[in-house]
Amino acid sequence: MASVTMTVNGKSVSGEVEGRTLLSDFLRNDLHLTGTHVGCDTSQCGACVIHVNGAAVKACTMFAVEADGTDVATIEGQANADGSLNVIQQAFQDHHGLQCGFCTPGMVMSAAALLKENPTPTEREVREYLEGNICRCTGYHNIVKAIMAASGQDVSAIAAE
C-alpha cells in the first residue's frame, strides 16, 4: 500500500492505495465521488474523463499513485460556488445535451478542457475533440450544440429541431 495525497475539487485528500488502484477507483470507492463513471476497459469511452493539473485525462487509465501531489477536478466540483450549474452544465441542460446521463460527466469535463484551449471552437473542432467520448443516446447533436452554445456562439441556426 502507498499513501497518496492530492487536491480534489479544491480540497486536500489522502488515502492508502495499492499500486494497481486506478485513479477512477480511488475517486469512486475511497472518496465516494461516483460521478466519474467507468464505461469500458480499453480507455475508449471517456465516461471517466477528469482533469489532472488542468489537463483532461481518463481516470480509468491512470493509477492513483500517479496522481499523488496533483490537483484533480471532477464533475462534482464543476458547479458554481452557489451550487448553480456552470456555463457548460447549463448549456447541456438548455440544449438537451444528455439523456441517460452516464457519459455526461466525461462529456462535460472534455468540453471544459476544450473551451479552455479553444474558447470558440467550430463544429468540426468540437466533434474532433470529442473523439474519445462515446455517447449512445444523443447522436452527439445536442452535445455539440451545447458546447458551441457554452462558448457563446449563436446556435439558433443549427439544424431544425
Partner 1 sequence: MYAFDIERPSTIADAVKALKNEDAQALGGGQTLIPTLKQRLAMPSALISLTGIGEMKGVCLADDGAVCIGGATNHATVAKEAAAHYPGLAGLAANIGDPAVRNRGTIGGSLANNDPSACYPAAALGSGATIITNTREIAADDYFQGMFETALEDGEVITEVRFPVPEKAHYQKFVQPASRFALVGVFVAKYADGVRVAVTGASENGVFRWSEAEAALSADFSAAALDGLTVPADGMIADLHGSPDYRAHLIKVMTGRAVTAAA
Partner 2 sequence: MPKDGGIGASTTRREDVRFLTGKGKYTADINVFGQAAAIFVRSTVANGVIKSIDTSAAESMPGVLAVFTGEDFVDVGGNPAGWLINSRDGEPMKEPKRPVLAHGKVRHVGDAYAAVIAETEQQARDAAEEIIADIEELPAVINMADALAGDNYVHDEIGTNQCFDWGWIEDNRAATDEAIKNAPHVTTLELVNNRLVPNAMEPRASIGTYDAAGDSYLLQTTSQNPHLTRLLISAFVLGIPENKLTVIAPDVGGGFGSKIYHYGEEALVLAASKKVGRPVKWVADRTESFLSDAHGRDHVTKIELACEKDGTFIAFRSETLANVGAYLSNFSTATPTFLHGTLMAGNYTVPNVYVNVKTVFTNTAPVDAYRGAGRPEATYSIERVIDMAARELGMDPVELRRKNFIKRDQFPFTSAAGLEYDSGDYDALMDKMEAIVDRKAFEERRKASEAKGKLRGLGINAYVEACGIAPSNLVGVLGSRVGLYDAATVRVNATGNLSVMVGAHSHGQGHETVFPQIVADMLGIDPASVDIVHGDTSKIPFGMGTYGSRSLAVCGSAMVRATEKIIAKAKKIAAHMLEASADDVDFAEGQFTVKGTDKSVSFGEVALKAYIPHNYPLEDIEPGLEETAFYDPANFTYPSGAYACEVEVDPETGKVTIERFTACDDFGNVMNPMIVSGQVHGGVVQGIGQALLENTTYDENGQLLSASYMDYVMPRADDLPFIAVSHDGGTPCTHNPLGAKGCGEGGAIGSPPTVVNAVIDALQSGGKNVTHIDMPLTPARVWAAMNNA
Using CB under 8 A as the criterion, which residues of the chain lie in contact with partner 1 when the complex forms? 2, 18-20, 22, 41-44, 46, 49, 52, 55-58, 60-63, 65-66, 68, 110, 113-114, 129, 131-133
- The contacts of residue 86 (CB under 8 Å, 6+ apart) are 78, 79, 80
Considering only 115, 130, 149, 150, the residue that binds partner 2 (CB under 8 A) is 130
Q: How many CB atoms lie within 10 A of CB 33?
A: 22
Q: Binding pattern to partner 2, positions 61-100, x when CB under 8 A?
A: -------------xxx-xx-----x---x--xxx-x-xxx
Q: Looking up cell 451545447, which residue turns up?
A: 146
Please list the alpha-helical segments (H only) found in 39-103: 87-94
How far apart CA 45 and CA 42 sit, in angstroms, is 8
Interaction site with partner 2 (CB under 8 A): 20, 28-29, 33-42, 44-45, 47, 74-76, 78-79, 85, 89, 92-94, 96, 98-105, 108, 123-124, 126-128, 130-131, 133-145, 158-161
